[in-house]
Amino acid sequence: MPQDLTRDLMDLIERGRDRQLRLAVTGLSRAGKTAFLTSLVDQLRHAGLEARLDLLSASRKGRLLGAQRVAQQDLGVPRFPFDQARASLEQDPPCWPEPTRGISELRLKIRYRPSRQAWLRPETVELTLDLFDYPGEWLLDLPLLEHDYLSWSQTQFDEAGPTRRAMLATWEREATQLAPDADADEARLAEISELYASGLRQAREAGFSNLQPGRFLLPGDLRDAPVLQFFPLPGLANWSQERLAALPESSIYASLARRFRYYQEHVVRPFYREHFRRFDRQIVLVDVLGALTAGPERFEDLSQALARLMQSFNYGQRSLFSRLFTPRIDRLAIAATKADHVTPEQHVRLVGLLEALLAEPLKNLKYANIPVKAMSLASIRATEAREVKHQGRITSALKGTSMDGEPLLTFPGEVPTRIPSADFWERQGFNFIAFRPQPSAPGALPHIRMDAALEWLLGDKLE
């Protein structure tokens, strides 16, 4: 395919010249990826004019000239619905962009004036930024590639806490009755898979995130396909690997293991290969405040899910060679999203809590010598900070509009700086209220520290 080859070569050349950057915007479902991408595109499009991007050096110095969406590379992937997202925010009353149901891609050309003019150096330069959006549910399938069916089955049980396990009780009752060596009955396996899927859906509704397989929650175009009809098999502890491997193809064990492998090879691996291998930079978005509201079991579950997830990416320093042929993530941001849900003096605490939540992956990144920055941000700020007099004292509060359109003035609570103790959950907790986006105004979307995120993720490429 000469066309593909030309495209790949062009890519290599652009990468080599540092004029192309692939940014992975990762996060679990509802972390705020779509909002972040929408705001990122919006801020860059307004750069130099109405956007407030003082923490982005190229913008502050007036060197950032703007950005335009251009034809993306992979024509088989839908375009990120920026216009729809922007339109929902402009509605009256404004709405948050629709949840993501599939994958989409976006390519921006950012134009800037280099910081130093030199002989033979053009007056303006373009940086191509590739971004894409996908459902967070699918991301959690990446760790599944490290397992075979047997080890996967076992971990699914070991990790689930009591609440999550209770949600799968109906499924567990049926699944425990299956003998691994019995002949598989297709219809029955389909039924039990549906029980498993429904247990997972219930767990997600209840705020859990560490749920696999991701396509059970959001099947995309695979609804009702037999590849989605498997589940972990309880009671494998009494079976040796050899005995299981010797079971006939028609047995329950072999049938489920076959589907698991198919799912790995035909669903997860292509998703990983095509979209997740070739990144240069990454931002991991985490809805810390949402998890704080959901309680200790969910909080722990989120921490596990994120640690597992970050193992699926390639991190490493970029040499010229690796930059060309095996791109790796050489710089990373982790961000607590929706920071407009707490008053400004809580932002530092929020970052502390984010770092505590990601303690394990952060250790590994530090060991690998990858620069990481932790921050809090609001992609699309929905509240305004206010000082109010309360019992004779000045305190800070948030002014916003509830999702039902009620005006609100609240103090949502203190953010703990470490993983909260049992005591915190019992006494205080955290009350997360969903806000409606602010009515649309001319210019770029209101935000908190989007410019800091941009400076860290691409500031050096705009020099």
Ligand X SMILES: Nc1nc2c(ncn2[C@@H]2O[C@H](COP(=O)(O)OP(=O)(O)O)[C@@H](O)[C@H]2O)c(=O)[nH]1
Closest CA to 142 of 298, 337, 297, 275: 275
- 3-state helix/strand/coil string of 146-207: HCCHHHHHHHHHHHCCHHHHHHCHHHHHHHHCCCCCCECCHHHHHHHHHHHHHHHHHHHHCC
337 to 356: interface string for ligand X, x by CB under 6 A? xx-xx---------------
**143 touching ligand X, by CB under 6 A:** no
Helix (H) or strand (E) holding 403: none
CB of 101 to Mg ion, least distance (A): 9
Count the site residues for ligand X by CB under 6 A.
Answer: 23
Q: Which does 29 bind (CB under 5 to 8 A by kind): ligand X, Mg ion, none?
A: ligand X
The one segment of 223-231, 265-273, 333-341, 366-374 that binds ligand X by CB under 6 A? 333-341
CA-based nearest residue to 23, from 457, 322, 379: 457
Query: What φ, ψ does residue 321 adopt, rounded to 5°?
Result: -65, -50
**Alpha-carbon gap, residue 289 to 338, rounded angstroms:** 8
The burial class, CB within 10 Å (0-12 / 13-18 / 19+), for 132 is: buried
- Contact indicator for 271, 198 with CB cutoff of 8 Å: no
Tell which positions 82-101 bind ligand X, by CB under 6 A: 96-97, 99-100
Report, in Å, the least distance between residue 341 CB and ligand X.
6
| Residue of 22, 33, 164, 215 interacting with ligand X (CB under 6 A) | 33
Complex with ligand X: residue 201 or 323, whichever CB lies closer: 201
Q: 97 or 412, CB closer to ligand X?
A: 97
Q: Binds 229, which of ligand X, Mg ion, none (CB < 5 to 8 A, cut-off by type)?
A: none
Q: Least distance in Å: CB of 150 to ligand X?
A: 32
CB atoms within 10 A of CB 50: 12
What does the per-residue mask of binding to ligand X show for 120-139, with x meaning CB under 6 A? ----------------x---
Q: Which is nearer to Mg ion, 416 or 437 (CB)?
A: 437
Q: Give least dist CB 178 to ligand X, A.
A: 35
Binding of ligand X by 232 (CB under 6 A): no
> C-alpha angle with apex 142: 139 to 147, nearest 5 degrees?
150
Peptide bond into 407 cis (omega under 30): no
- 3-state SS, residue 33: helix
Site map 362..391 versus ligand X, x via CB under 6 A: ----------------xxx-x---------
Of 40 and 370, which CB lies nearer to ligand X in the complex structure?
A: 40
Q: Give yes or no for residue 27 binding ligand X (CB under 6 A).
A: yes
d(CA 67, CA 58) in angstroms, rounded, equals 13
Residue 379 makes contact with Mg ion by CB under 5 A: no
Pull the structure tokens for residue 69.
């969406």
> What is d(CA 385, CA 339) in angstroms, rounded to the nearest whole number?
11
* Residue 34 binding Mg ion, by CB under 5 A: yes
Other residues' Cβ atoms within 10 Å of the Cβ of residue 320? 8
- Summarize as ranges the residues that interact with ligand X (CB under 6 A): 27, 29-35, 96-97, 99-100, 136, 337-338, 340-341, 378-380, 382, 434-435
- Summarize as ranges the residues that interact with Mg ion (CB under 5 A): 33-34, 100
